[in-house]
Amino acid sequence: MPSENKQLVVSGDGRYWNDVAIQKILRVAAGYGVTEVIVGQHGLLSTPAISHLIRILNAEQADACMGAILLTASHNPGGPNEDFGIKYNTPNGGPAPESITDAVFNFSKTISEIKTVKTIPDVALD
């Protein structure tokens, strides 16, 4: 799987379900072989901070970071009162272009199972 031995940044702006979504994302990431996930304190990092972090990680070790999952209502708002959304930033630190989001959407229609690690405890976000 392409995610093996890769870093992933996961954080958000603290909106609705931020803490719950982070725990689920961590379990799925582990299920797909992601070996290191960087989460902001309390699960919080701004979009510019996440972009900068991705660029630093990939400058230190080429292609070490596969990008970031950002939890922010400013992208694809949903949830109660449109106060939750998910965005993917690519390994260059920028938002995923439409070609990638289209490919992810098309792939999502073929998923028959989700690999997850259910035995890991919740990660302390404080």
Q: Sign (positive/negative) of CA torsion 47, 51, 54, 56?
A: negative
Name the pTM for this structure.
0.85
pLDDT of residue 1: 41
Q: Are 61 and 46 in contact (CB under 8 A)?
A: no
CA distance 78 to 125: 23
Q: Which of 3, 11, 51, 74 is catalytic?
A: 74
Contact of 65 with 58, CB cutoff 8 Å: yes
- Please indicate whether residue 46 is annotated as part of the active site: no
Q: What is the pLDDT at residue 106?
A: 96
Fold of the domain spanning 7-108: Alpha-D-Glucose-1,6-Bisphosphate; Chain A, domain 3 (3.40.120)
What b/e readout covers 77-92, taking b as 16+ CB neighbours within 10 angstroms? eeeeeeebbebebbbe
* pLDDT by residue, tens only, the chain of 126 residues: 455 667 999 999 887 788 899 999 999 999 988 889 999 999 999 999 999 999 999 888 887 889 999 998 766 666 667 777 889 999 999 999 999 999 999 999 999 999 999 888 888 887
- Spatial separation of the C-alpha atoms in residues 113 and 101, rounded to whole Å: 20
CA distance linking residue 22 with residue 26, whole number of Å: 6
Rounded to whole angstroms, the Cα distance separating 88 from 67 reads 7
Region of residue 116 (left: phi > 0; alpha: psi -120 to 50; beta: else)? beta
What is the β-pairing status of strands 65-71 and 86-89? antiparallel
pLDDT of amino acid 89: 94
Q: Which residue has the tokens 């379900």?
A: 17
